[in-house]
Chain A
Amino acid sequence: MEQYLPILIFVLVAAAFPVVTLVVARVIRPHKPDPVKLSSYECGLESVGEVRDRTSVRYYLIAVLFVIFDVEVIFMFPWAVRFKQLALLGFVSMATFLGILLLGYYYAWRKGALEWV
């Protein structure tokens, strides 16, 4: 079990970090609230409407497709970096992987998942 000690220390440090930062910030910061400061932060834009607004269910589909094709890239980066070492096997594996994704893309396209009606 000894080899797990670093992981335990890591977990403790990770847990302590936000707690310590928040507590220290609270203790030493000046406290002068006004309405603008208390409003929720929207990247500098003024917020519009309620938080719990109803969104179209199509967002969900687009989001899922986005995640799939976004995560695919994460898989490709290490392959691209080690392209020479992985040689033909790596190339064929990645080609198969992309081929399957392409089939999925075609399916989603034909099903109209990419259209915003």
Chain B
Amino acid sequence: MMDILGSLFSWLPVELWIMRPELCLTLAAFLTLIFSVARRAFQPRWLGYFSIAVTAAVGAPLLDLFRRTTELPGQEFVAWNGMFVVDSFAVFFKVLFLLAAILTMLMSIRYLDVEKAHTGEYYALIMFAVVGMMFMVSARDLILLFVGLETMSISTYILAGYLKRDRRSNESALKYFLLGSFSTGIFLYGISLVYAVTGSTHLRVISDAIAEGLVNHPLLVLGLILMIVALGFKIAAVPFHMWVPDTYEGAPTTITAFFSTAVKAAGFAIVLRILVEGMLSARMHWAPLVVILSAASMIIGTLGALLQENVKRLLAYSSITHVGYLLMGVLAVQRGADTGARGMVAIAVYLLAYTFMNMGAFGLVVALRREGLVGDQVDDFTGLARRAPLAAFSMLVFMLSLGGIPATAGFIGKWYLFGAAIKADYVWLAVLAVLASATSLYYYLRVVVRMYMGEAEEEGGLRPSGALASALVISLVFTILMGLYPQPFIWLAQHVVLY
């Protein structure tokens, strides 16, 4: 079967051949757009199933590329004057994006009907966003990286405001758009300064130029700082997090789930790509900044989440805390060699775990949504254990996993990240992370306590659609599986090491 699929594309020149996943997904997105307005328009629901099928099918060429890039260590395919690279790092993240996109689309099908905003463009935009992310993680040139970043960002700006008649959704999109485009400008300014000093936008050339003694050039340092600020906006690290709670609260819940998993993973992927492949020799300039971002994110995120009554806002603040944890992995990366490799593996494992558990938690919020109930308040979970024991149990697992309790995916992720921080001699930061995650248990368990100890005001269980139920089951199974038997996932994550 794989061979038939492979020979289908064998006539392509190698530059396009390694871009099969991107090409297929782009084509599918266009088809979805056209189908949604065709003279005999397809039902949005069927466009949703079509998009899910295509996105899943794109996994086949990706797996083929994964096999080829992992045959030998350091194996990679490069095209377009070295701008576009397919290595196991890129492939890992592409698989992660596909997973997140599939789960998002599964959760969306009934949700959009309830919101009365079901059109085919929604799925096309998600696929366009994924294509943008794929180009981001495959870019070894800052310009291509920027184009990918914009493709992703513009699609997500629209998705944030997809509920046209909902004021909160409008507010969410506007804030996201303003701060997003602002940070894009800062990023471009940073690129232009780095280009002015090193004479190239290619990460390898930049890296060589820095190693040859440009490392303390003031304009280079300024450019680097500007790029870190912009990336801080994109991954939502404190103090560039102000847009997160409002955007996450107002956006359609499914899209919030997408933001907090896929978009964030894409942000971390380019942070790693830029800092490791381009700026490793300038680590004494960026490491102190990352320390500040990491510590501030953990503190502010945890404190902010303590008092939230809205689950989406709560998860927004919690995602800021998780960014703080993940940045510890970035700090380990600067040490190079063993410790650095450990940091990268930790980030990959954590992002994988985070994708499943966060998707699951947002999926439960989606499941509560029905005619006449938004379902995003902590109170809406009250007494859920009696009404829908299975749903309550899965929420319990997701919350424990987010809090980092053993036997869940979140624990494995934290174990690796905190270990990497200690190995990299940031013991005080690891202590802070442990304190933050102990505090975070309070607000995660608050939801659990309401579910199990509160009295429900209404009767009747949840009736999630088949698609949503399968998304929840996938998230639940992987969250538990990764906690009990993490070896395969760690093996997978070991392929992201970029040195």
Contacts and interface: CB of A to CB of B under 8 A. Distances in A.
Contacts of B39: 110
Interface stretch (A29-37, A55-63, A100-108): A100-108
Interface string A41-52: 000000000000
A111 B33 CA distance: 11
Interface in B3-60: 30, 33-34, 37-39
B196 interface: yes
A65 B22 CA distance: 26
Nearest to B31: A103
Interface string A90-117: 0000000000100100110011000000
Contacts of B34: 103, 106-107
Nearest to A108: B37
A110 B30 contact: no
A3 B196 CA distance: 10
A4 B196 contact: yes
B37 A111 contact: yes
A106 B37 CA distance: 9
A103 B196 contact: no
Contact of B37 (A4, A100, A107): A107
Contacts of A110: 37-39
Contacts of A106: 34, 37
Nearest to A109: B37
A100 B38 CA distance: 16
A86 to B, nearest CB: 16
A103 B196 CA distance: 38
Contacts of A111: 37
Interface residues of A, number: 7
A2 B423 CA distance: 44
Size bracket, chain B contacts: under 10
Interface in A53-103: 100, 103
Contacts of A100: 30
A34 B38 CA distance: 60
Nearest to B41: A110
A107 B33 contact: yes
B58 to A, nearest CB: 19
Contacts of A4: 196
A110 B120 CA distance: 14
A16 B33 CA distance: 50
A4 B195 CA distance: 12
A63 B38 CA distance: 24
B280 to A, nearest CB: 25
Contacts of A107: 33-34, 37
A92 B66 CA distance: 29
Contacts of B196: 4
A89 to B, nearest CB: 10
B19 to A, nearest CB: 13
B372 to A, nearest CB: 31
A4 B34 CA distance: 48
Interface in B400-421: none
A103 B37 contact: no
Interface string A1-35: 00010000000000000000000000000000000
A105 to B, nearest CB: 11
Nearest to A111: B37
A57 to B, nearest CB: 13
B38 A103 contact: no
A100 B33 CA distance: 12
B238 to A, nearest CB: 35
A111 B30 CA distance: 15
A107 B34 CA distance: 6
A11 B499 CA distance: 42
A103 B33 CA distance: 9
A45 to B, nearest CB: 37
B21 to A, nearest CB: 18
A28 B39 CA distance: 67
A112 B199 CA distance: 47
A39 B196 CA distance: 47
Contacts of A103: 30, 33-34
Contacts of B33: 103, 107
Contacts of B37: 106-107, 110-111
Nearest to A89: B13
A107 B124 CA distance: 12
B14 to A, nearest CB: 14
Contacts of B30: 100, 103
A3 B39 CA distance: 58
Best-surrounded residue of A4, A106, A110 (most CB of chain B within 10 A): A110
14 contacts: A4-B196, A100-B30, A103-B30, A103-B33, A103-B34, A106-B34, A106-B37, A107-B33, A107-B34, A107-B37, A110-B37, A110-B38, A110-B39, A111-B37
User: Top 9 A-B pairs ranked by shortest CB distance?
Assistant: A110-B37, A103-B30, A107-B33, A107-B37, A111-B37, A103-B34, A106-B34, A107-B34, A103-B33
Given A4-B196, A100-B30, 12 more contacts: A103-B30, A103-B33, A103-B34, A106-B34, A106-B37, A107-B33, A107-B34, A107-B37, A110-B37, A110-B38, A110-B39, A111-B37
Interface of A: 4, 100, 103, 106-107, 110-111
